[in-house]
Structure 1
Amino acid sequence: MVASRAMMVFRILFHLLVASTQFLVIAALTDPQDFSAIQSLRNSWENVPPSWEGADPCGNRWDGIGCINSRVVSITLSSINLSGQLSSDIQELSELQTLDLSYNKGLTGPLPPAIGNMKKLSNLILVGCGFSGPIPSSIGYLRELVFLSLNSNGFTGGIPPSIGLLSKLYWLDLADNKLTGTIPVSNGKTPGLDMLVKTKHFHFGKNKLLGEIPSLLFHSNMTLKHLLLESNLLTGNIPSTLGLVHTLEVVRLDKNSLSGSVPPNLNNLTSVQELFLANNKLTGPLPNLTGMNLLNYVDLSNNSFAASDVPPWFSTLQSLTSLIMEDTKIQGPLPISLFSLFQLQTVVLRNNMINGTLTIGSSYSNQLHLIDLRNNFIDDFTRRANYSFQIILVDNPICFEGRTEAYCNIPQPTNNSYSTPPENCTPSPCRPDQISSPTCKCAYPYTGSIFFRAPSFSNFGNTSTFASLQEELILTFQSNNLPVDSVSLSNPTKNLDDYLVLNLQVFPSGLNYFNWTGISGIGFVLSNQTFKPPDGFGPFFFIGDNYKYFADLATGSSKSSSSGIIIGAAVGGSVLFLLLLIAGIYAFRQKRRAEVAAKKNDPFASWDPNTNSGGVPQLKGARSFSFEELKKYTNNFSEVNDVGSGGYGKVYRGTLSNGQQVAVKRAQQGSMQGRLEFKTEIELLSRVHHKNVVGLVGFCFDQGEQMLVYEFIANGTLKDSLSGRSGIRLDWMRRLRIALGAARGLQYLHDLADPPIIHRDIKSNNILLDERLNAKVADFGLSKPMGETDRGHVTTQVKGTMGYLDPEYYMTQQLTEKSDVYGFGVLLLELLTARSPIEKGKYIVREVKLAMDKTKEMYKLQQILDPVIASSMAARSLEKFVDLALNCVEESGVNRPTMSEVVKEIENIMELAGLNPNTESASTSASYEGESKGSGNPYTNESLFSYSGGYPPSRLEPK
């Protein structure tokens, strides 16, 4: 309290110092109305540049403020950690032409409708902020608008039809928001997007847009180049009017629910270079792409096209680099001419009916790096001694006889570890907070990620490709008079949205840091699309990090000294400085006293963040136990109270002083779970409270011990019951209730926990059963919280348990909630079969798919079902249950249901089986016990092969 008062005194004195100088400044250059508006913005924002002082933004050249004479015409403030809301007073800047506040996550709240009064605004760029609420319809009044970039925010509601009135609009980017509703088109009374005949870019991907793509949206007068509608909820047919827009170069309609036949006139789009129609519900014949001679990248995967022979156009597209057509019912042999296309890099034709002999020949493309033909009917392979590219023929007849050739094994994921090399110099040893640049200078770079939404190439190992991108970036920055010495690109990856992502570091010239103007200038070049990438990279967007290495401008020369400051101000300033110094010393001493007092009462006072454990855990309600307390409650950790063990350590039953039974999970020296996992589990479990999630009572971090104290779960793991170790017999009704309970627990973690949590290790050993056999999700050591900045996925080291591990996460290292859905799908199959996911080299998902026949009753799965339930279940409920499980283990995460959808489906299955999903579980577990109880170790943790990086297994799906 005392320290906070001292800081208040400090602030008051500081503002007095500022005020005393402002009174003595001679007449300002800035228009009074503009100054009033800027002052309002300054008052509503935190972390504005230090130069934002005084009464003359134009005369004193405030950072990020551009003026012509006395009027403010631009505000460009990207990546400076601004926070607050956008005041409606911004409308008073009547001459403003450019507003760029990109890459400031702290800018939140709605976009004020008053923004429509800024009639001269030509660039409205708010990329990667935290804005929310509907996009105001008043935006249609900005008739001078050329660039409208609102992507990567949290905007909701529909696309305002009034945007159709922006006749000068060139760039329209509303992607990566939460927009809903249909795509608006004009109807004689209201405007629509079909009126934007001069607009080159429609970027609407990663929203929740509904309904059909309107046929009226497209016509021959349009000059549209990029149509990006990926990852929405669009349904219906692809309109044939799309074939009228001959200027199109990139078409992304993938990851929707589009149906019907592809319009035959699609091949009229002869300028299209990238075509994505994958992951829809398209039917009819495979589209004929003959004549689309500029096509580089084609992805038609995972649709429901009619079976067809390999189309002739495969070998005629001379510009083709990437042919991606998984699960498209292609049959017959592949022509050798396909591999002779001189730019070809990638061929992925998995899960088709390609047969015969694979012949690549000797004149194949020298850029070829991958041919993936998994799960086809190829029975022979005519090959040379060595190929420089990768061939995968797993799950073809040629590999059924135990062949050991490399092409009969799934290769390890490749790591594209490209990074810009030094320019003929030796990297300098730098301070820990600095980085050596490509010119071997230690500096504080500006960093961020560039996302290319439709690159024409798929081989990310070609270093010359990225070298050309690097050269263009440097040229663009320097031609815009920005203080840039060099740039570095690294870690090219393909994310779940099929975007190419590159890490970017921009290094300063002259000094080893950027000033405020330099950062905003670099951000504007990238947000305003001033930078034009080389051919082949396609449309991009940039998300910049906050820059925190600015020079101390408070004493620098960037502040203009006014000739109107009299000597009295200097004397007064000196007096105030002495007062500030005294207040500062007082505040520092009070702060130190408060820290010492807090440390005495902090159970994590000895927590060392330098041991890869992160900061001190943020807890909500978890009790801190001393070592001596838990020693007493477990009778000195006696063997009698030992109820289980695993790689982490042992679990002991304990009884607290209030009589509550607990399970004490005690780490052993050298355990698999380190401090970071320990901290994660405490933090997450202290925040979650749900009847289907195991409850955390407390923890112990004392005397070098790490212990977690849970509620005691009497009947141990679901694995124990399915294997027979517990002696509990689970009938079909009980298994449905367990599935529903586990699904509800997982749904809570995904949708209602704050922050949302991805469990990352869903398996039968982590589902516990209480005395009423209610399911509880447990073990959060590998879990990941999902913050706002993660935007639906987080790139992280692969961890989990083989057999339950999501193949998409394994391949891309991008974790989403759908990774948990995959593990839950495997769990459902385990409930049906009582088999381990991987048993004697056989993978349960594959075994069920091979055994099932949907034309037969119970899908002809009687031989694979657990005998305990095989004769007691209704055929229809079984079939629905299998359908749900297989839907959960779809190879592509976008095709898997959410956990809320899984919960609803299990409830429907239970009702179909004559059960009420909302009734309480059995009174006890006694009626489900067999003749003999199990070992009595409900926390036994046997046969857990958890994967947490390192050398991966050769295959995720053994035959």
Structure 2
Amino acid sequence: MEPRIELLCLVVFIQVYIIAAVTDSGDVAALNSLKDIWRNLPLNWVGSDPCGDGWEGIQCMNSRVSLITLGSMGLEGQLSDDISSLTELQTLDLSQNQGLTGPLPASIGNLKKLTNLYLNRCGFTGPIPNTIGSLQRLVYLSLNSNKFSGQIPPSIGHLSELNWLDLSDNQLEGSIPVSDGTTPGLDMLANTQHFHFGKNKLTGEIPEQIFSSKMSLIHVLFDDNELSGPIPSTLGLVQSLQVLDLSNNHFDISGIPTWVSSLSSLAILRMESTQLQGHVPVDLFSLPDLQILGLKGNKLNGTLNIGTNVGNQLSLVDLQNNDITEFNGTGGHNIEIELTGNPICQETGPTETYCEPPQSTSLFNTPRSYCSSAKCSSDQVSSTTCKCAYPYTGTLIFIGIFFSDLGNSAAYKALQESLMLCFQSNQLPVDSVSLSNPRMESSTFLSLNFSAFPYDRASFNRTVVSRITFLFSNRSFKPPPSLFGPYFFESDEYNYFSDEPKDTKKSTIVIIIGAAGGGSVLLLLSLLAGVYAFRQKKKAERASIKSDPFARWNVMKNNGSIPQLKGARCFSFEELKKYTNNFSEANYIGSGGYGKVYKGTLPNGKLIAIKRAQQGSKQGVLEFKTEIELLSRVHHKNIVGLLGFCFERHEQTLIYEYVPNGSLNETLSGMSRIRVDWTKRLKIALDTARGLTYLHELANPPIIHRDIKSANILLDQHLTAKVADFGLSKPISDSEKGHVTTQVKGTMGYMDPEYYMTHQLTEKSDVYSFGVLLLELITTRKPIERGKHIVKEVRMAMDKAKDLYSLHQILDPVILDESLKGLEKFVDLAMSCVEESGVDRPKMSEVVKEIENIMQIAGMNPNVETPTSSSSYEGLSKGSPFHPFSNESSANSSTFVASN
């Protein structure tokens, strides 16, 4: 009887599970109301439980709908009052659905917990309801590119948490609201960083009251309106301002306001077609961060005097169609001047470069990745990696760019890489990105065609398209700040969704149970339950192995389940407690995201370092196992020695040889207080190269480290360098010789761009990282500082005709007073290692030979150990971040892991 009772219980349980809805009934009613009036809905909006059934674009918390992301879904219809029932909603993203029309319901003000509202580029009409001011938790309000009319609601002034306010590209009219003691206004938005009001029909003056020194504004855009009167001088109080665009209005001003020259953070200033008269003040060009100055279409006259005190960021001065009669030159500064349409060009003619009209279009296209264009059928397109697919397309529109050449392939490549990094870090299956046809819109904005291609499939599903749109809507994607300013994204309609109806198994069960009544059906259900239980058991076992890769390593049984690891033993947790005095504070030497590091002493007096994961944590468990298996079979003086490990009691502990002088990163940054001269740096470079050569050519199987960086190079008491941290390493089998296709892992700044773009990992990926390390050795600069990559900085500064290649401004001042014999060859070697194509880079064995030659030039014998030693890190204060064995030993060297 018992099995039969259990079976009946199972039937009842399944029936109850299917009938009972998890989602709050009010939220179900609200979504069903939207479902009734919207067209082109996701295919899986079926059933009575949106949370439990996993409705596309719906996320829940405690049975309440908390997030709706349905961007670029092709939705059609209106947003009804029923949306107000979703009172726990925090994010609403319906952006890029131009078929959503009609008014924005006033009841939206009931969504008191809403923090993000993205309705940009839809088809909404009518006034923006004043109830929008009730959403006092709002951080992002994007209503741009609709057909909203009427005035800007004064109630927006109540949104004290607002960071992003974008009402541009609508039909808003009237004056800009400010507070008067009884009604709110935009002057109350002290924490807002973005005022985007361009492309509307706003009239009247910009009120003086709207700006103050308490504001945090960085972008103020009033372009393409019908504003008049003076420009308020209070704008000069907003010292955080970076982008100011007042173009195409009817201001009553005689010249460029004097307060503009006091905006020390200003990067882009556009005042085109604003009735400006008089001279261009020379002190305007001395603003330290100014990059773009757009003043065309005015009545500015006289002599254009750039002066000598020019900010080193200035790249473009656009004064087309003014009345400039003379120009005294740029004084040797690399600045593009555009004076087409001025009297000076009528006199001098087109032979002067500043009189040549700028190119309005460019034929730039993202180059292909070492392959030939595929011949695709139907509407498919060949990607940059030569795969036929249906890309998700649109237009990226940048309000400001910090370069003048529309054919600037380096800028677009940097943009492409940052897009891929964003998609990869958000675990989106994007294989490649293509950018093309850069062009200037309205003489102000850069427009760029964008295409994203799916990974390992012909098209994207709705989830991925919605998530890509969401990254653009909430500005999670951040373009390179040194090249591109703020942006908008306009998607094209996507008609190739790969989705199929889901939960077919569940519906089958419902049908079977609904027809239950006969013995045969009951027997079938019993079989089904058995199969289900068996599959669940197997699934649980697989999940267990996946979450615990040591599941098959049974330390309690002497059955050979633990691999025979050369030179590494399995320590018991009790032993480690004894060696570290119960992990006492006196033995603690550092910590990081992985956990803590302790110094221990073996019974024979040998010092060890114990890297212990946080108690109960599974962070990095696969990397932990990888490091054990790899380091146990590599033995070289330039590779940190693994003595053992412990994985009992849920512990993840690695036991290393004790390396007293920490990481190279800490030495170069000054944290370890160890001074390394030119000869020591050469020796460190040689040690590291020899360690990598061993991994690539002598280890069996060969190993690609995949995360070479200064934080992973340790220095012993003689400053001998040892390669450490093999958590991301990849052994290469005979079948994978040449390359292995794998997910992208590594540290930004050190990562091989070819590997990043193609996912094809080779030994040359380590060579690239090593090249970056060589540049870090001589400059002590981080690979990426203020958005600039060290490789590009060195390449731009190099002049081979001059002493030390004219790198004096980049080299570490500590070594500048030395005789840097061989430095030029050292730089040549580094630059050969960071060649864009892997085939152009040397092998590590060739690198070793070249460093040995350089050391001989410097009067050193590469085969003689340097006797120099230095103090260990024991003298550092407790709790400092100094711990050479931690994955997180450097805050600036974050590891990037992108899943495909």
- TM-score range relative to shorter protein: 0.5 to 0.7
Instruction: Tell me the secondary structure at the aligned position of residue 81 of structure 1.
Output: coil
Question: Is residue 386 of structure 2 the alignment partner of residue 437 of structure 1?
Answer: no
Q: How much has 1:509 moved relative to structure 2?
A: 1.4
CA contact (8 A) 1:60 1:559 kept: no
Tell me the equivalent position of 1:545.
Answer: 492
Question: Which residue identity is paired with 1:548?
Answer: N
Tell me the equivalent position of 2:540.
Answer: none
Q: How much has 1:298 moved relative to structure 2?
A: 0.5
Distance 1:111 1:559, change over 3 A: farther
1:159 aligned residue (140, 145, 152):
152
Question: Which residue identity is paired with 1:35?
Answer: V
Tell me the equivalent position of 1:265.
Answer: 259
2:444 aligned residue (470, 483, 498):
498
Describe how 1:131-170 pairs up with structure 2 within 5 A: 131-170=124-163
Distance 1:519 1:204, change over 3 A: same
Tell me the equivalent position of 1:331.
Answer: 325
Question: Which residue identity is paired with 2:171?
Answer: K
Question: Is residue 346 of structure 2 the alignment partner of residue 351 of structure 1?
Answer: no
Aligned length: 501
Tell me the equivalent position of 1:47.
Answer: 40
Distance 1:455 1:175, change over 3 A: same
Q: How much has 1:310 moved relative to structure 2?
A: 2.1
CA contact (8 A) 1:164 1:193 kept: yes
Describe how 1:475-494 pairs up with structure 2 within 5 A: 475-494=421-440
2:473 aligned residue (518, 527, 541):
527
Q: How much has 1:454 moved relative to structure 2?
A: 1.4
Tell me the equivalent position of 1:518.
Answer: 464
Question: Is residue 297 of structure 2 the alignment partner of residue 302 of structure 1?
Answer: yes
CA contact (8 A) 1:125 1:527 kept: yes
What are the superposed Cα offsets for residues 816-873 of structure 1, whole Å, 9 maximum, x if unpaired? Answer: xxxxxxxxxxxxxxxxxxxxxxxxxxxxxxxxxxxxxxxxxxxxxxxxxxxxxxxxxx
Please say which of residues 454-463 and 217-226 is displaced more in the overlay. Answer: 454-463
Distance 1:336 1:130, change over 3 A: closer
**Whole-angstrom distance in 2 between the partners of 1:134 and 1:249:** 30
Q: How much has 1:217 moved relative to structure 2?
A: 0.9
Instruction: Tell me the secondary structure at the aligned position of residue 73 of structure 1.
Output: strand
Q: How much has 1:238 moved relative to structure 2?
A: 1.0
Describe how 1:69-148 pairs up with structure 2 within 5 A: 69-148=62-141
CA contact (8 A) 2:72 2:494 kept: yes
Question: Which residue identity is paired with 2:237?
Answer: L
Q: Which runs of 5+ in 2 are unaligned?
A: 1-13, 518-900
CA contact (8 A) 1:321 1:458 kept: yes
CA contact (8 A) 2:305 2:329 kept: no
Distance 1:169 1:24, change over 3 A: closer
Distance 1:506 1:458, change over 3 A: same
**Whole-angstrom distance in 1 between the partners of 2:506 and 2:268:** 55
Describe how 1:721-870 pairs up with structure 2 within 5 A: none
CA contact (8 A) 1:478 1:484 kept: yes
Q: How much has 1:302 moved relative to structure 2?
A: 2.1
Tell me the equivalent position of 2:183.
Answer: 190
Q: How much has 1:311 moved relative to structure 2?
A: 2.4
1:317 aligned residue (311, 318, 325):
311
Question: Which residue identity is paired with 1:299?
Answer: G
Q: TM-score, normalised by structure 1?
A: 0.50
**Whole-angstrom distance in 2 between the partners of 1:258 and 1:499:** 21
Distance 1:238 1:39, change over 3 A: same
Q: How much has 1:159 moved relative to structure 2?
A: 0.6
Q: How much has 1:512 moved relative to structure 2?
A: 1.5
Tell me the equivalent position of 1:378.
Answer: 348
What are the superposed Cα offsets for residues 322-378 of structure 1, whole Å, 9 maximum, x if unpaired? Answer: 1111243323343251xx323x2x321123343xxxxxxxxxxxxxxxxxxx43x22
Distance 1:529 1:380, change over 3 A: closer
CA contact (8 A) 2:272 2:297 kept: yes
What are the superposed Cα offsets for residues 240-295 of structure 1, whole Å, 9 maximum, x if unpaired? Answer: 11111000000000011112133212111011111001101123543441431211
**Whole-angstrom distance in 2 between the partners of 1:22 and 1:194:** 58
Question: Which residue identity is paired with 1:278?
Answer: E
Instruction: Tell me the secondary structure at the aligned position of residue 180 of structure 1.
Output: strand
Instruction: Tell me the secondary structure at the aligned position of residue 420 of structure 2.
Output: helix
Q: How much has 1:24 moved relative to structure 2?
A: 9.9
CA contact (8 A) 1:24 1:564 kept: no
Instruction: Tell me the secondary structure at the aligned position of residue 482 of structure 1.
Output: coil
Question: Is residue 293 of structure 2 the alignment partner of residue 293 of structure 1?
Answer: no
Distance 1:571 1:50, change over 3 A: farther
Distance 1:510 1:379, change over 3 A: closer
CA contact (8 A) 1:508 1:514 kept: yes
Distance 1:543 1:379, change over 3 A: closer
Question: Which residue identity is paired with 1:291?
Answer: S
Question: Which residue identity is paired with 1:418?
Answer: F
Q: How much has 1:504 moved relative to structure 2?
A: 0.7
Indicate the RMSD between aligned Cα atoms, in angstroms: 2.4
**Whole-angstrom distance in 2 between the partners of 1:84 and 1:559:** 28
Instruction: Tell me the secondary structure at the aligned position of residue 240 of structure 2.
Output: coil
Question: Which residue identity is paired with 1:423?
Answer: S
Tell me the equivalent position of 1:454.
Answer: 400
Tell me the equivalent position of 1:793.
Answer: none
Question: Which residue identity is paired with 2:207?
Answer: P
Tell me the equivalent position of 2:419.
Answer: 473
Give % identity: 48
Describe how 1:13-28 pairs up with structure 2 within 5 A: 25-28=18-21
Q: How much has 1:558 moved relative to structure 2?
A: 5.8
Q: How much has 1:530 moved relative to structure 2?
A: 0.7
Instruction: Tell me the secondary structure at the aligned position of residue 108 of structure 1.
Output: strand
Tell me the equivalent position of 1:341.
Answer: 333
**Whole-angstrom distance in 2 between the partners of 1:570 and 1:457:** 70
Please say which of residues 35-44 and 293-302 is displaced more in the overlay. Answer: 293-302
CA contact (8 A) 2:157 2:184 kept: yes
Question: Which residue identity is paired with 1:350?
Answer: T
**Whole-angstrom distance in 2 between the partners of 1:166 and 1:333:** 48
What are the superposed Cα offsets for residues 535-576 of structure 1, whole Å, 9 maximum, x if unpaired? Answer: 22100010111211112513xx5667258614265899xxxx
Q: How much has 1:22 moved relative to structure 2?
A: 12
CA contact (8 A) 1:553 1:559 kept: no
Q: Which runs of 5+ in 1 are unaligned?
A: 1-20, 355-373, 382-389, 394-406, 573-959
Q: TM-score, normalised by structure 2?
A: 0.54
**Whole-angstrom distance in 1 between the partners of 2:88 and 2:119:** 19
Instruction: Tell me the secondary structure at the aligned position of residue 395 of structure 2.
Output: strand
Distance 1:160 1:379, change over 3 A: closer
Q: How much has 1:392 moved relative to structure 2?
A: 6.7
Describe how 1:374-773 pairs up with structure 2 within 5 A: 374-375=345-346, 377-378=347-348, 391=353, 393=355, 415-496=361-442, 498-535=444-481, 536-554=483-501, 557=502, 561=506, 565-567=510-512
Distance 1:284 1:485, change over 3 A: same
CA contact (8 A) 2:306 2:330 kept: no
Distance 1:22 1:214, change over 3 A: farther
Instruction: Tell me the secondary structure at the aligned position of residue 209 of structure 1.
Output: strand
Question: Which residue identity is paired with 2:379?
Answer: D
**Whole-angstrom distance in 1 between the partners of 2:131 and 2:419:** 36
Question: Which residue identity is paired with 2:302?
Answer: S
**Whole-angstrom distance in 2 between the partners of 1:392 and 1:197:** 42
CA contact (8 A) 2:316 2:337 kept: yes
**Whole-angstrom distance in 2 between the partners of 1:180 and 1:477:** 38
Tell me the equivalent position of 1:952.
Answer: none
Distance 1:455 1:379, change over 3 A: closer
Q: How much has 1:23 moved relative to structure 2?
A: 12
**Whole-angstrom distance in 2 between the partners of 1:392 and 1:243:** 31
Instruction: Tell me the secondary structure at the aligned position of residue 67 of structure 2.
Output: strand
CA contact (8 A) 1:239 1:263 kept: no
